[in-house]
Amino acid sequence: MRNKLNNLKTLVNKNVFVPTGTSDLLIDASTKIIKSNKTILDLGCGNGIVGISISKIKKIKKKVYFSDISNSACKNTKQNCEKFKINYEIKKGKIFNPWKNYKFDYIVSDVAAIADGVAKVSPWYQNCTNNAGIDGTKNVIKFLNEARFYLNKKGIILFPVISLSNEKKIISVLKKKFDNIKLIKTKTWPLPKSMYKNINLLKKLKSKKIICFENKYGILTFKTDIYHAQKKN
Ligand SMILES: C[S@@+](CC[C@H](N)C(=O)[O-])C[C@H]1O[C@@H](n2cnc3c(N)ncnc32)[C@H](O)[C@@H]1O
């Protein structure tokens, strides 16, 4: 899998999430914010592409931290870290469970976050699990509720909000828990054609305000927003 920004060719193993445009957007946004020589956690690392790319682009010498709920993802990240000679620590586990007593300057998280009904009919989650709940917010909200305990003073989180989840619910938790909230990147994508046959399901979720997509001249589109937020004092 080639990352468009720095041409990094990472390996993607069976049962591991195949990086998407959202991964690239998160990398692009993060590298504009993250300062070198800081501690970074890539939470929901998949094959490690986000943390590894940031580390390479920003020339980070410090250890980069990775975690994922999936054993295959952790093994794949290890393989890629060794391939790209990254100084790494990888732990398997749910959200912050593996990181008791750790603190980071930046937490970059692309943890699974689309509505389960959408994930089931999408090409992205055929070999790995989404398990983000009916409205796609379960993992992100847990992440937002706990992140401040794992951040250093003035620590920053960077994460995507995809319109195939209940964005409003996520943003309302973000506003309660964090300061200095900024929408730093946004991109609209065509919905994969293979999902058009499930249009009735998608319309039903949209009518319930669980997801949002647009129909522009017969092309269905959804979007990714990348958010920056800072730990409250
Ligand atoms: C959208 S993929 C992103 C993977 C990678 N960061 C990328 O951009 O390609 C989401 C990742 O979150 C992981 N994940 C799902 N639920 C999780 C949880 N509760 N805790 C930690 N990781 C989780 C999945 O195994 C998957 O690797």
So what's the pLDDT on residue 1? 57
Asked, for residue 7, whether it belongs to a domain, the answer is no
Tell the residue nearest (CA) to atom 4 of ligand 1.
Answer: 46
So what's the pLDDT on residue 8? 84
So what's the pLDDT on residue 145? 98
Asked, for residue 221, whether it belongs to a domain, the answer is yes
Best mutation site among 69, 76, 108, 128 for ligand 1 pocket (most ligand atoms within 8 Å of CB): 69
User: Total domain count for the chain?
Assistant: 1
What average pLDDT does the chain have? 95
Please list, in sequence order, all residues whose beta carbon lies within 8 angstroms of the beta carbon of residue 21, skipping any fewer than 6 positions away.
187, 189, 224
So what's the pLDDT on residue 3? 57
Asked, for residue 5, whether it belongs to a domain, the answer is no
Say what the pTM is: 0.96
So what's the pLDDT on residue 127? 87
Asked, for residue 33, whether it belongs to a domain, the answer is yes
Asked, for residue 3, whether it belongs to a domain, the answer is no
Say which DSSP state 94 is in: S
So what's the pLDDT on residue 165? 98
Please list, in sequence order, all residues whose beta carbon lies within 8 angstroms of the beta carbon of residue 104, skipping any fewer than 6 positions away.
39, 40, 41, 65, 150, 151, 152, 155
Asked, for residue 8, whether it belongs to a domain, the answer is no
Asked, for residue 12, whether it belongs to a domain, the answer is no
Share of the chain above pLDDT 90, in %: 92
Q: Is a pLDDT exceeding 70 seen at residue 2?
A: no
Q: How do residues 170-224 score in pLDDT, each as one tens digit?
A: 999 999 999 999 999 999 999 999 999 999 999 999 999 999 999 988 999 999 9
CB neighbours (10 Å) of residue 221? 13
Share of the chain above pLDDT 70, in %: 97
**Domain CATH number, residue 225:** 3.40.50.150
Q: How do residues 44-98 score in pLDDT, each as one tens digit?
A: 999 999 999 999 999 999 999 999 999 999 999 999 999 999 999 999 999 999 9
Spell out which residues line ligand 1, taking CB within 6 angstroms: 17, 19, 23, 44-46, 49-50, 68-70, 73, 94-95, 110-112, 128, 131, 139
- Token digits for 87? 């100084």
Domain that holds residue 202: 21-231
